């Protein structure tokens, strides 16, 4: 009750943020999941973590509607006819987005915006289109007040894509988080360089290796939330994570870690995730009641569970602490990390996950990026901030080694010198080289820019300062970003040049 009253009285939360917080507290008063004693043990020691999903699942964590189907058919439930011009398209999307739920209560995926918009541009001048896009993008930023929201561009070079990138440099918004799907066989150098140039003004878009991830599912894929690679027309039921450094601290030694702690943690989390999926599918009524299902925008058969891992680097450094070997710098440390990842991957690809035909009846591995309360926990499989290799090429080779086993998303973030704006062709060379090695996802931001990537989402430095000074801020992800930025010393990211 004291926590509820604290939320009610808070002067740092907006009305909307209070409502979401109170709803989450109400959900956590329920106890509907079977959690065995062994699983509870690993939760209590933070070796596994449900990422604030709540105690009674009543909607999937991440939903990726088939927006192309909406554009073609409209929506009977929302009383929207198929759009005939650009105004009707943008207005229809704004209405639909309002009704797409997720773990954040906001849509985490807005579709392939350039492909949806491009067919509606005939007859408009660039300036007319840019005005409409600016209003549209500002609406999204001001009403989807959570940065775990993605829109996708590419891989084709389109007029809509170019104009969206141009407007992005003007509006400097934190929402949506854009990802450009880059494929050297499809994407022109011109629009790829424009995307990278834009990213150095507003940390948007990030770049995904389209050629490497396009066949992840039998459906098209979308990038949602932070950088989650998920099937369009479905999404993710749930995302829980193994916190590897916390697990390592429970182990007596390396042998005990592999023989007991890691397998028990993996089994506990797999069983727990199945419990969540079972309740969501069989008892919550979501898939029976949602108009998204009835109108064919999503299907239960296109959902899966994301099996997250975080803090690989810290885990290795703990296990090899007496030897002083460091992840990203020593062969023994990286070989141990490789063994850990292969052990986890082997478990996940064999563990039976219920109601998951899109992933052949299994969960899929994900490099989770961390939470605001994490201290000493490095995102996913990244090298810790402040301990990066001197050479960018060495850093990318290391990333490629550990991206290969992670199908639903892994990424690296690089702060760039201001002068990189002058050489987008060299930035593109970095992308081409990294993707040839097997890197899946990269994002850049300019070292002095207001917009900064925290773990995968975007926050403005100016908004973090307001929040630290006890002012209410529009985006609730600023609440997560401010402590994460300090806890994980993100200001100390190694600044790269080209």
Among 23-32, 110-119, 126-135, 347-356, whose mean pLDDT is lowest?
23-32
Structural domain includes residue 497? no
Residue 5 lies in a domain: yes
- Average pLDDT value for residue range 143-170: 96
Taking CA atoms, 151 is separated from 104, 175, 226, 257, 292, in Å, by: 16, 9, 11, 40, 19
Q: Is residue 21 part of a domain?
A: yes
Mind listing the pLDDT tens digit for each residue in 340-363?
A: 999 999 999 999 999 999 999 999
pLDDT at position 166 over 80: yes
Residue 202 · residue 216 · CB < 8 Å: no
Mean pLDDT across the chain: 95
100 in a domain, yes or no? no
Residue 61: the pLDDT is 97
State the pLDDT at residue 232: 98
Centre a 10 Å sphere on the Cβ of residue 299 and count the other Cβ atoms it contains: 17
User: Is residue 115's pLDDT more than 90?
Assistant: yes
Residue 176: asked if its preceding bond is cis (omega within 30°), the reply is yes
Tell me which long-range contacts 183-190 makes (C-beta under 8 A, separation of at least 24): 183/154, 183/155, 183/210, 183/211, 183/214, 184/211, 184/432, 184/435, 185/211, 186/154, 186/155, 186/156, 186/210, 187/154, 187/155, 187/156, 187/157, 188/157, 189/425, 189/428, 190/157
Q: How many domains does the chain have?
A: 1
6 is a domain residue: yes
pLDDT band at 373 (very low <50, low <70, confident <90, very high): confident
Q: Residue 400 has what pLDDT? A: 97
Q: Which residues pair with 64 in a beta bridge?
A: 234
pLDDT 10s digits, 184-243: 999 999 999 999 999 999 999 999 999 999 999 999 999 999 899 999 999 999 999 999
In a domain, 88, yes or no: no
* Residues 6 or more apart in contact with residue 104 via CB below 8 angstroms: 146, 148, 149, 476
Q: What is the pTM of this model?
A: 0.95
- Does the pLDDT at position 1 exceed 80? no
In a domain, 465, yes or no: no
Any domain includes 74:
no
Structural domain harbouring 24:
1-30
What is the structure's pLDDT at 470? 87
């Amino acid at each position: 009750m004291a926590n509820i009253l604290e939320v009610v009285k808070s002067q740092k939360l907006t009305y909307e943020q209070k409502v979401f917080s109170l709803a989450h507290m109400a959900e956590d008063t329920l106890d509907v999941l079977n959690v065995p004693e062994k699983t509870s043990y690993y939760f209590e020691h933070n070796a596994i973590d449900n990422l604030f999903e709540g105690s009674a699942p009543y909607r999937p964590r991440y939903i990726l509607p088939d927006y192309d189907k909406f554009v073609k058919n409209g929506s009977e439930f929302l009383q929207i006819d198929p759009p005939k011009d650009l105004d009707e398209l943008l207005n229809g999307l704004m209405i639909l987005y309002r009704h797409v739920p997720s773990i954040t209560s906001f849509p985490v995926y807005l579709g392939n915006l350039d492909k949806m918009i491009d067919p509606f541009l005939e007859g408009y001048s660039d300036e007319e289109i840019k005005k409409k896009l600016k209003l549209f993008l500002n609406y999204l930023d001001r009403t989807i007040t959570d940065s775990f929201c993605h829109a996708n561009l590419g891989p084709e070079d389109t007029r809509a894509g170019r104009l969206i990138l141009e407007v992005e440099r003007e509006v400097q918004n934190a929402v949506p988080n854009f990802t450009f799907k880059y494929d050297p066989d499809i994407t022109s150098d011109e629009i790829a360089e424009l995307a990278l140039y834009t990213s150095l003004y507003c940390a948007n878009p990030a770049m995904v290796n389209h050629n490497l991830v396009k066949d992840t599912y039998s459906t098209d894929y979308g990038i949602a939330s932070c950088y989650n690679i998920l099937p369009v027309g479905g999404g993710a039921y749930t995302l829980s994570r193994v916190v590897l450094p916390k697990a390592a601290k429970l182990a007596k030694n390396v042998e005990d870690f592999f023989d007991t702690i890691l397998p028990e943690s993996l089994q506990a989390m797999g069983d727990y995730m199945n419990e969540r999926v079972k309740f969501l599918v069989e008892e919550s009524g979501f898939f029976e009641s949602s108009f998204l299902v009835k109108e064919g925008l999503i299907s239960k058969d296109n959902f899966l569970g994301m099996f997250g891992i975080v803090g690989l680097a810290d885990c290795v450094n703990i296990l090899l602490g007496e030897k002083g070997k460091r992840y990203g710098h020593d062969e023994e440390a990286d070989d141990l990390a490789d063994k850990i990842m292969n052990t986890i991957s082997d478990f996940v690809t064999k563990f039976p996950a219920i109601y998951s035909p899109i992933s052949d009846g299994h969960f899929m591995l994900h490099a989770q990026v961390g939470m605001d309360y994490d201290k000493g926990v490095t995102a996913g499989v990244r090298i810790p901030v402040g301990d990066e290799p001197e050479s960018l090429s060495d850093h990318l080779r290391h990333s490629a080694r550990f991206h290969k086993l992670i199908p639903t998303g892994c990424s690296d973030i690089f702060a760039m010198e201001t002068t990189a704006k002058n050489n987008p062709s060299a930035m593109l060379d970095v992308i081409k080289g990294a993707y040839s090695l097997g890197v899946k996802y990269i994002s850049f931001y300019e070292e002095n820019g207001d917009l900064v990537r925290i773990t995968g989402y975007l926050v403005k430095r100016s908004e973090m300062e307001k929040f630290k000074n006890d002012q209410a801020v529009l985006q609730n992800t600023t609440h997560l970003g401010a402590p994460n930025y300090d806890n994980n010393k993100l200001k100390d990211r190694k600044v790269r040049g080209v």
